[in-house]
């Protein structure tokens, strides 16, 4: 929602994804990688009166979607969220039970609070201990809000999911535009999607609105 209150204007990618996902529903909708990214670590624009006419400066996206591990096509309903919040929900009545993760495409992201790799490891190990990685079909990982965490976070996912949990076959798509890193797209809860690891594409298989 903060994108609607951005200084100067909302970025074009987010605006187009809002239009395509919510206001122009289609039976299938490919979610493309954004053609640019924003460095929230070194170029953050603070909410201050003197910045009201300051436009974000984006950089060309040179990586796009990246497959950390796995291959082929995975299809399932979307379920996930921000890992910073997950730790507050685990063990409560609203935390999904293992059977509710069955066959899902899990989407995960971290906030701009600069989560350490050790902390990320511990959270993923908790999901592993719950048996969640044993039942999901694939994982979408949001672009890290801090560019310095890009490669380190990838290594954590490969280590915990692929090696420790013993699931190197689970396709993990990294650098997806959702969560806290700009620009932000839309990942609708509960919708069926297709993660194509071979072609590096992400597609919603049903409309988000009617």
Give the global pTM: 0.94
What is the total count of domains within the chain?
A: 1
pLDDT digit string, tens, across residues 119-150 = 999 999 999 999 999 999 999 999 998 888 99
**Can you tell me the mean pLDDT for 53-71?**
92
For the record, the structure tokens of 160 come out as 């915990």
Looking at the predicted structure, is the pLDDT value of residue 210 above 70?
yes
The maximal CA–CA distance of the chain, rounded, in angstroms, is 52
* Overall average pLDDT of the 82-102 stretch: 94
Residue 78 domain flag:
yes
Contacts (Cβ under 8 Å, ≥6 apart) of 104: 76, 77, 78, 79, 135, 136, 137
Q: Are 123 and 89 in contact (CB under 8 A)?
A: no
Quick check: is 16 in a domain? yes
Residue 99, both tokens: 């059977």
What SS3 class is residue 45? coil
Report if residue 179 sits inside a domain: yes
123 is a domain residue: yes
Token pair, residue 76, equals 């399932």
- Does the CA dihedral 35-178-14-2 come out positive or negative? negative
**What string of DSSP letters covers 108-175?**
EE--TT---HHHHHHHHHHHHHTTGGGT-SEEEEEPPSSGGGHHHHHHHHIIIIIIIS--TTS-EEEE
In this structure, is residue 92 part of a structural domain?
yes
Question: What was the pLDDT predicted at 67?
Answer: 98
Q: Look up the CATH number of the domain holding residue 31.
A: 3.50.30.60
Q: What is the pLDDT of residue 171?
A: 98
Query: Is residue 51 situated within a structural domain?
Result: no
Structure-token pair, residue 162:
């692929």
Report yes or no on 52 lying in a domain. no
Q: Residue 50 falls within a domain, yes or no? A: no
Dist CA 86 CA 71 (whole Å): 27
Q: What is the pLDDT of residues 146-195, one digit of tens each?
A: 888 999 999 999 999 999 999 999 999 999 999 988 899 999 999 999 99
pLDDT above 80 for 4: no
Give the domain extent around 7: 2-45+57-204
Q: What is the rounded average pLDDT of the residues 34-45?
A: 81
Q: What is the dihedral of CA 200, 85, 59, 140, to 10 degrees?
A: 0
pLDDT(79) > 70: yes
């Amino acid at each position: 929602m903060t994108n609607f209150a951005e200084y100067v204007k909302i970025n074009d990618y987010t605006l187009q994804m809002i239009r395509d996902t919510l206001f122009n529903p289609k039976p299938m909708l490919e979610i493309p990688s954004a053609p640019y990214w924003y460095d929230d670590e070194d170029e953050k624009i603070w909410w201050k009166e003197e910045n009201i006419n300051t436009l974000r400066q984006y950089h060309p996206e040179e990586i796009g979607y990246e497959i950390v591990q796995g291959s082929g096509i995975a299809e399932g309903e979307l379920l996930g969220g921000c890992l910073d919040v997950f730790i507050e929900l685990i063990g409560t009545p609203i935390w999904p039970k293992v059977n509710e993760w069955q066959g899902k495409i899990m989407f995960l992201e971290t906030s701009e609070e600069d989560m350490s790799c050790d902390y990320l490891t511990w959270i993923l190990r908790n999901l592993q201990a719950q048996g969640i990685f044993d039942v999901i079909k694939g994982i979408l990982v949001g672009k890290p809000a801090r560019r310095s965490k890009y490669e380190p976070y990838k290594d954590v996912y490969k280590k915990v999911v692929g090696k420790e949990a013993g699931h190197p076959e689970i396709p993990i798509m990294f650098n997806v535009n959702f969560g806290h890193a700009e620009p932000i797209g839309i990942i609708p809860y509960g919708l069926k999607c297709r993660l194509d690891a071979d072609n590096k594409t992400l597609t919603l298989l049903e409309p988000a609105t009617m």
